[in-house]
């Protein structure tokens, strides 16, 4: 599969590496331009290439977005039309500034991104796990019950299934946390955020959160 990655920080670079190792073609972009990615692309290997943001957005049918949340509205919205966008962003007020709609819980960070990328099919994933754990703890050949959980939220069932399949391929257990609004369960401060747990514990923890 051809997959774009926008963001070359810890999560973007780590997921790009996992995707390449799984046999996918990756075009990776950042805000500094393709020339700044030469070393990373050389490390990723022959099936990876450096791209502009627009090129990464149109490279294939799936794009991972892993950028500081405050930069989301700078993404070229029309370039993502029809694309499954994996939103790995998190809201950190100390970095992103205060966003009133998030502070008063009127919406979620993924819904903000989806409102900007109106033609995209946004799925929240890859935002709950520390990048070093993500890099080393995948078990592609291991039984699902022993794998660490990665949560998936979205309003498009087919898009969620596609992202879940990718997660399972990379060696993790995909756990459906619900709608894009339910992606709030995956945000910083939640019991499932940055907490290593297997699929069974993840399901129990999520059920407890839903029960309130």
Q: How far is CA 137 from CA 24, 36, 132, in A?
A: 19, 28, 8
What confidence category does residue 177 fall into, taking pLDDT thresholds of 50, 70 and 90? very high
Do 74 and 111 touch, CB atoms closer than 8 A?
A: no
Confidence of residue 212 (pLDDT cuts 50, 70, 90): confident
Give the whole-angstrom CA distance, residue 159 versus residue 90. Answer: 20
Domains of the chain with CATH codes: 2-211 (3.40.50.720)
Percent of the chain with pLDDT over 90: 99
Q: Is residue 2 predicted with pLDDT exceeding 90?
A: yes
pLDDT at 167 over 90: yes
Alpha-carbon distance of 152 to 176, in angstroms, equals 5
Count of other CB atoms within 10 angstroms of residue 21: 15
- 20-68 confidence digits (pLDDT tens): 999 999 999 999 999 999 999 999 999 999 999 999 999 999 999 999 9
Is 175 within 8 Å of 202 (Cβ atoms)? yes
């Amino acid at each position: 599969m051809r997959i774009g990655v926008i963001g070359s920080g810890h999560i973007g670079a780590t997921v790009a590496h996992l995707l390449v190792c799984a046999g996918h073609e990756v075009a990776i972009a950042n805000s500094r331009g393709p020339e700044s990615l030469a070393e990373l692309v050389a490390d990723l290997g022959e099936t990876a290439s450096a791209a502009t943001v627009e090129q990464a957005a149109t490279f294939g049918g799936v794009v991972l977005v892993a950028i500081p949340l405050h930069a989301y509205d700078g993404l070229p919205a029309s370039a993502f039309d029809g694309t499954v966008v994996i939103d790995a962003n998190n809201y950190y007020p100390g970095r992103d500034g205060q966003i009133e709609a998030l502070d008063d819980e009127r919406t979620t960070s993924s819904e903000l991104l989806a409102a900007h990328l109106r033609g995209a099919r946004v799925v929240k994933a890859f935002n709950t796990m520390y990048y070093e754990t993500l890099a080393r703890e995948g078990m592609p050949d291991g039984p699902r019950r022993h794998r660490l959980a990665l949560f998936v939220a979205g309003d498009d069932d087919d898009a969620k299934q596609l992202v879940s399949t990718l997660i399972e391929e990379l060696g993790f257990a995909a756990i459906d946390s619900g709608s894009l609004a339910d992606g709030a369960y995956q945000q910083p401060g939640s019991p499932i955020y940055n907490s290593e747990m297997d699929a069974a514990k993840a399901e129990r923890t999520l059920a407890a959160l839903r029960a309130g």
